[in-house]
Chains A and B, each alone.
Chain A
Amino acid sequence: MNFDFSDDQKHLAGEARRFLEANCSTAAVRKVLDDDKKAFDEKLWKAVAEQGWLGAAIPEEHGGLGLGHLELCVIAEELGRAVAPIPFASTVYFLAEAVMLAGSDAQKAALLPKIAAGEVVGCVATSEGPGTVSAANLQASVSGGKLTGTKLPVTDGDIATHALVLAKENGQPGLFLVELGGGVKREPLQTLDPTRDAARLTFSGASAERLGAAGEGFALLEQVTDRAAVLLAFEQTGGADRCLEMAKAYALERYAFGRVIASYQAIKHKLADIYVKNELARSNAYYGAWALNTNAPELPVAASAARIAASEAYWFAAKENIQTHGGIGFTWEVDAHLFYRRSRQLALVAGAPRVWKERLVSHLERRNAA
C-alpha cells in the first residue's frame, strides 16, 4: 500500500507553503479584496510562473516541468490555504487540462508554452443565468466559426486571454476555444468573493475553434471538469484546514467565564467535527488524485466524491470558524470572511454540490447495475 504523496512531493508542498507565506499573506490578498480596480495579484502571478507551477503538469516538450498531476495537487492545496488571488484554477485546471485533453497538436504547441510562462490567462464560460446550464437551455451559438451569446458569471473573464465556451453549433452542443480579442464585450460583476475576478462576457461574432468532436460539448466539459474538480478539491481542503487552524488558535487564546473557550465541549466538539470532515475530504481528494494521475476509469466517481466532500468540508469549516470567533469573526478586519467567501466561490465555480451529488449517484446507479 502506497496511498500517500512521495517524499519529493511533500518537499514540494513545503516549498510552496514557504513561498506563499512570503508572497501571499492575507494582507496581500486584502489588496485585491479592497481595491475594486485590482482584479488579481499580478506580481504573485508572475512569481508563480517563475516557480514553474503553471506548467507543473505540462509536458516538457510544451514548455512545462513535466512533473505530473500529483505535484499539481500539492501545489493546489497550498494555493487554497493561502486564498491566492490569482487565475490559477481557470488557467491551469481548466484551460491547460482541456487543451491537453482535446486540443490539436497546433493548439497544444501554441497555447501550452504560453500557459506555462504565465502569458495566457484562461476562463471557462458555461453559465448563462440562474440555474444549471444544460442542452435544453443553452443559448450561445457558433455559426461559421463565429460565436454569439452572453455568458455570466465567468470567473477571470475580465483578465483572461482565452476562454473555453460552451455553445451550440448546428443545434449540437460543443466546447469551443476562443481567443478573447475582437467581438467580445467584458463587464465586471460584483460577486461573493472579490479576491477572484468575474465578468459578464458578451460575444458578437468572436472567432471560435471547436475542441473535440461535434455534439460532444457536454461530455468533453465533464471530462475537463472531473479533472479540475480533483485539483479544486485540494484547494478546498487546504482552505478548510486553514480555517480549523484559525479556529483552534483563537479558541486557545480567547477567555470567557474565566477559562479559554477551547476548554468548553461545545467548542471542542465543533472543532472535532471540522477535523473529521476535513479528514474525510482529504482521503477522498487523495483517491481523486490517484485516479487523475493514472487516468483511471474510476476518475468520474472519484472526482465527484472528492468534489462533494471538499465543498462541504470547506463550507462547514469556514462558517464554524466565524462562529468560534464570535463577534470579532463578523468584522471585515478579521480574515475569517476571506475563507467564507472563497469557500462559496470554489464550491460554485465548477458546479454546486447538489449538481455533483446527482452526477455521482447517476454514475453509481450505472456502475452498480453493470
Chain B
Amino acid sequence: MDFNDTPEEAAYRAKARAWLEQNAPRESVGGDDLEGGTKDTMAASKAWQAEKAAAGYAQITWPKEWGGAGGTPVQQVIFNAEEGKFPVPPNPFAIGLGMCVPTVMAFADDETKKRFVGPALRGEEIWCQLFSEPSGGSDVAAARTKAVRADDGSGDWIISGQKVWTTGAQFSSFGIVICRTEPDAPKHKGLTMFWVDMSDPGIEVRPIHQMSGGSGFNEVFFTNVRVPDSQRLGAINDGWKVSLVTLMNERLAVGGPSGAGWAEFLEAARSIAGPDGAPVLKDQVIREKLADWYVQTEGLKHTRNRTMTALSRGQTPGPESSIGKVVSALLLQDVGNTAVEMLDQYGIISDPALSPLKGAFHAALMSSPGLRIAGGTDEILKNIIAERVLGLPGDIRVDKDVAFKDLPTGR
C-alpha cells in the first residue's frame, strides 16, 4: 500500500508536467469554474483548449482517430491533477465533451461525427445538454418539449417548448435536446433525441439570475424550430435509452475543490474573537466541527485514491466513488455557514473587500444550495446509492404504464 505512481504513470506525469510547464498560462483570467466561466473568460478558455487538443491532452482516453490520445483513465486523472496546479482558464467544454459529443459519437452517422467531433475537441464549438424542463428536473423523462413531424412531407421535425438549467447555452453552438414525440405512449417510451443548431432563430436563450448572483445557467425557449430527420439521435421514441448514455458521466463531471474548506476555516478562526475574547479556534464546539470536516474531507480524498488505485490496476472502480457529491456539497454549506456565524454580527457583510478570504465563505454559503441540486439532488443521489450500490428496490411507480398525456401534473 502506497501512493506512488507505477513507473509508467510516473513517466506520463513527468511528460505532462513538462508540457504544462512549457505551455500552461501563469496568470488566472478569473471566472467561476463551476459555471464554466463568463463571456470575458471564453476566449482564454478556447485558446487553452486548442493548445491541449493539438498536443493530445484534450480527451486523453478518446481513440486517436477522433483526436484523443488513446490513453487510459489513469492518465486523464494524472493530467487533470497536474493541470490543476496551474491557473488555467475555466473549462466550459466539460459537458459537451463528457456528455453531448459522446452521445453524438454513439448515435450519429459517420459524416455527422466527422463534422462535429474535431471542432468540439479543439474548443471551437461548445455543446450544451437540453434535458431539464420547468416540469421535470430529477424526472427527466417527464419532458414536455414536443417534436412533431412537419405536415409538408419533408420528414422534418418541428420542436416547441422550454428547457431550463441549461449550463453554458449562451456560449453553445450546438445542443442535444430530448423531446416528447408520442404523448399517447408511457412517458419513457415517447421521447426522441435530436441535435440542434443553437443559432436557429427559433431558439431563444435567457440567462437565469441565480440566488448566488451568477448566471451560468439558462432558460432555452424553442418556438417552431425545424430540424431535419437526419439530426435525430437514435430511433424514434427511443430517446430515454439515448439519454442514459448521456447521463452516465454526469455524476463524475460535477464537483471539485472550493477554497473554503476546513483548512481555510482553521486559519481564519485563529484571529477572530469569540464571546470570551479568546480566538474562536479555542471554542470547543468549533473544534469538534473542524474535526468532523477534516474527517469528511480526508475520507473523500482517500476514497478518490481508492478509485484511482482501481483504475491504476486496470480494474473497474468500486461503488464507493458514488459518495463524493452527496458529502461535499453539504460539507461546503456547513463550513460556509459556520464561518459566517463565527464572525458574529459582522457575518452579514459579504463584500469581498471586507470579509475574510475575499468573501470565499460567503460565496460558499450562497453557491452550496445549487451544488446540492445540480447533477443529481442529494435525494436522487441517495436513491442511486440505495438502488445501484445496495441493490434495494426502486420506488413503486405510478407513471410507468400510463399514457404520458394522462399523467397528473401540478405546477
- Chain A residues in the interface with B (C-beta under 8 A): 1-6, 70, 244, 248, 251-252, 259-260, 262-263, 265, 267-269, 271-273, 275-276, 279-284, 286-287, 289-290, 293-294, 304-305, 308-309, 354, 356-358, 360-361, 364-365, 368
Contact = CB atoms under 8 A, between A and B. Distances in A.
B387 interface: yes
Nearest to A4: B309
Contact of B386 (A1, A271, A289, A293): A271
Top 5 closest pairs, chain A to chain B, by CB: A280-B299, A268-B386, A357-B291, A283-B302, A272-B382
Is chain B's interface secondary structure helix, strand, loop, or mixed overall? helix
A279 B303 contact: yes
A109 to B, nearest CB: 30
Interface string B1-38: 11111100100000000000000000000000000000
Contacts of B346: none
Contact of B263 (A3, A5, A271, A368): A368
Contacts of A260: 393
Given A1-B3, A3-B3, A283-B306, A276 B298 contact: no
Contact of B295 (A70, A244, A309): A309
A279 B320 contact: yes
A3 B309 contact: yes
Nearest to A290: B1
Contact of B288 (A5, A282, A354): A354
Interface string B305-323: 1101110110000001001
Contacts of A304: 291
B78 to A, nearest CB: 9
B324 to A, nearest CB: 10
B401 interface: no
25 contacts: A2-B1, A2-B3, A3-B2, A3-B308, A4-B306, A4-B313, A252-B392, A262-B392, A262-B393, A263-B392, A265-B395, A267-B392, A268-B392, A271-B386, A280-B296, A283-B320, A286-B302, A287-B298, A290-B1, A290-B3, A308-B292, A309-B295, A360-B294, A360-B295, A364-B290
A2 B303 CA distance: 12
A3 B306 contact: yes
B382 A268 contact: yes
Contacts of A284: 295, 298-299, 302
Given A269-B379, A283-B302, A1 B309 contact: yes
B363 interface: no
Contact of B389 (A269, A275, A308): A275
B305 A1 contact: yes
A309 B291 CA distance: 10
B305 A358 contact: no
Given A2-B3, A283-B302, A364 B392 contact: no
A1 B5 contact: yes
**Most chain B CB inside 10 Å of its own CB: which residue of A3, A259, A308:** A3
Given A283-B300, A361-B291, 7 more contacts: A1-B312, A4-B306, A244-B390, A283-B302, A290-B3, A304-B291, A358-B291
A275 B385 contact: yes
Contacts of A267: 392
Contacts of B320: 279, 282-283
Contacts of B302: 3, 283-284, 286-287
A286 B306 contact: yes
B395 A2 contact: no
Given A70-B1, A265-B383, A293-B1, A2 B392 contact: no
Contacts of B4: 1-2
Contact of B305 (A3, A273, A281): A3
Interface of B: 1-6, 9, 74, 263, 266-267, 281, 284, 287-288, 290-292, 294-296, 298-303, 305-306, 308-310, 312-313, 320, 323, 326-327, 379, 382-383, 385-387, 389-396
Contacts of A262: 392-393
Contacts of A6: 1
A251 B295 contact: no
B11 to A, nearest CB: 15
B171 to A, nearest CB: 35
Contacts of B74: 1
Contact of B266 (A259, A294, A365): A365
**Most chain-B Cβ atoms within 10 A of its Cβ — which of A70, A244, A354?**
A354
A282 B298 CA distance: 11
Nearest to B304: A283
Contact of B387 (A252, A268, A280): A268
Contacts of B281: 365
A365 B302 CA distance: 21
A263 B396 contact: yes
Nearest to B392: A262
A154 B119 CA distance: 71
Which of A271, A280, A305 is most buried by chain B, counting CB atoms within 10 A of its CB?
A280
Contact of A360 (B291, B326, B396): B291
A280 B287 contact: no
A25 B199 CA distance: 68
A322 B4 CA distance: 42
Given A263-B392, A272-B385, A368-B267, A361 B287 contact: yes
A347 to B, nearest CB: 14
A263 B383 CA distance: 10
Given A2-B309, A3-B309, A276 B287 contact: no
B385 A309 contact: no
B277 to A, nearest CB: 19
Contacts of B308: 1, 3
Given A1-B3, A259-B396, A308 B295 contact: yes
Contacts of A268: 382-383, 386-387, 390, 392
A267 B379 CA distance: 12
Contacts of B385: 272, 275-276
B241 to A, nearest CB: 25
Contacts of A263: 392-396
B26 to A, nearest CB: 27
B323 A276 contact: yes
Nearest to A264: B395
A279 B299 contact: yes
A251 B393 CA distance: 10
